[in-house]
Chains A and B, each alone.
Chain A
Amino acid sequence: MKRLASMAFAAASVLSLQGCAGWQSALDPKGPAASELAWLIWFFTGLCAVVWVLVMIALAAPVLMRPPRRTEPLVLDAGADHRKLRVVAIAVGLTAAILVGLTLLSFFANRTLAAIGSDAALTIRVTGHQWWWEVRYEDATPSRILTTANEIHIPAGEPVRLLLTSTDVIHSFWVPSLAGKLDLIPGHINVLDIKADKPGTYRGQCAEFCGAQHANMGTFIIAEPRAKFDAWWNDQLQPAAPPTGDEAKAGADLFLKRPCVMCHKIGGTPAGGTVAPDLTHVASRRTLAAGSLTMSRGNLAAWIADPQGIKPGSHMPVVELNGDELNAIVAYLEGLK
């Protein structure tokens, strides 16, 4: 047993070095909620480890200390049993005390978490779709309401309120380095407050099984300084950049004449589909297909040419395009900064 424990420990420590690089790790908190939770995780783990070691010592004692073997099973030492009863009672009492402590601890941690976003100024509505995230920035001025997909820009150091819901099945929004997860349930609106301490990019992904492409339903939270965030918002409100160059112009034309237009929206053009991610500023995002591919000309072409090879079962159909058409559409999309 010891051999195994040390082996497991060695393996764990080697592997945990690798995990530190993670930008999607509950143990690498970047916001107040995740920090509180990481502290809680370590505290619980430490306490549980102590309890476990004590139980293991109690288990190993009769084997290692080699007391004499009992011969007559029914001959019991009443005094010894009485002492044992006392030990067991104390152990149960301690267990109860620890459990009460842990219950109180999680109750107060819950209160701390709830207080984080009480003064959130920015509200973002996140709607889950199979298998991407629709992100809508709410604003009192209707013309400033902004819809985008899969990547959520937030101002760093400020609490942000996310309203979570779904149009199809249950998803779960989870960016471990910022906060715990919360489900997106059709017919319900859940409120999750998040806050990133520093600017940075934090990955998350759907945490409730939602069908064929559950594994490839990633999201990014991009925390930026307030000024940069405001500039980003203003940029995103602009209609799509007009195509430059012949190929891109041909691509813009093709976009409207091919199935693309049936589902996708590009602001400032007749393309107005709302059932798939908004592509008005698609090239300004870091990834494609809900975090599956990094944004590049090659990946754009690959995704359009064979979406069912990259995300089998996703709702993006295979569209028959010849090479020139594909290049033209990619050139157009690439320009949508």
Chain B
Amino acid sequence: MRLGFATLLSVTLALAACQREERDTRPQSSLGSGGQPTPVTALEPGGQRPSPRDNKAASFEANAFHLSEGKRLFGWFNCSGCHANGGGGMGPALMDQKWIYGSSMESIHATIRDGRPNGMPSFRNMIPDDQIWELAAFVRSLSGNAPSSAAPQRNDGMMPHPSENRMPDAATLGKSP
């Protein structure tokens, strides 16, 4: 009985943990480069077109290490200069559920890589691709879209908002009017 309990426990943990705890610091080009063009909008006459999936999105968005690296880079690259600590300033807020260009990892990645109209610069060539994915994953966690077991915890600094792992569930955050 104990054995069964332990097995069950470890299987459950294994499934949750293997994605969450890996710490890869070298680019994994086998997962896809993120090089494909991402459309500016998912809107299309006659409905929505499926947004392209990138394997890297899946491997980055639930990984605790990548999320925390994204958080570090968010500060290092001065994203706060326009987006404040996610609350928005010159640039749009990132900790709500309003997404101008889509909420998927791929869309956010494209936004950082290629820039967007009205001021978002392109960081193509300025930030290595993996780091862009890390930033994208972190940006999603700002609005509670990352699993709370992997999302970054509070930082050692003044806290402008609840830490990412304590964000309210994405569904309860403010929606677009």
Contact = CB atoms under 8 A, between A and B. Distances in A.
Q: Do chains A and B touch in the complex (CB under 8 A)?
A: yes
Contacts of B77: 262
Contacts of B25: 308, 312-314, 317-318
Interface string A269-285: 00001010000000000
Nearest to A313: B25
A215 to B, nearest CB: 16
Interface stretch (B54-62, B86-94, B97-105, B127-135): B127-135
Contacts, number: 40
A275 B76 contact: yes
B156 interface: yes
A258 interface: yes
B76 A262 contact: yes
Interface residues of B, number: 15
A197 B45 CA distance: 79
Interface residues of A, number: 20
B26 A318 contact: yes
Given A262-B76, A263-B76, A317-B131, A257 B23 contact: no
Contact of B128 (A186, A312, A320): A320
Contacts of B156: 168, 186
A105 interface: no
A257 B122 CA distance: 12
Given A262-B77, A263-B76, A318 B125 contact: no
B158 to A, nearest CB: 13
Closest 7 CB pairs of A and B: A275-B76, A308-B25, A308-B26, A317-B128, A319-B128, A318-B27, A259-B128
Interface of A: 168, 186, 257-259, 261-263, 273, 275, 308-309, 312-315, 317-320
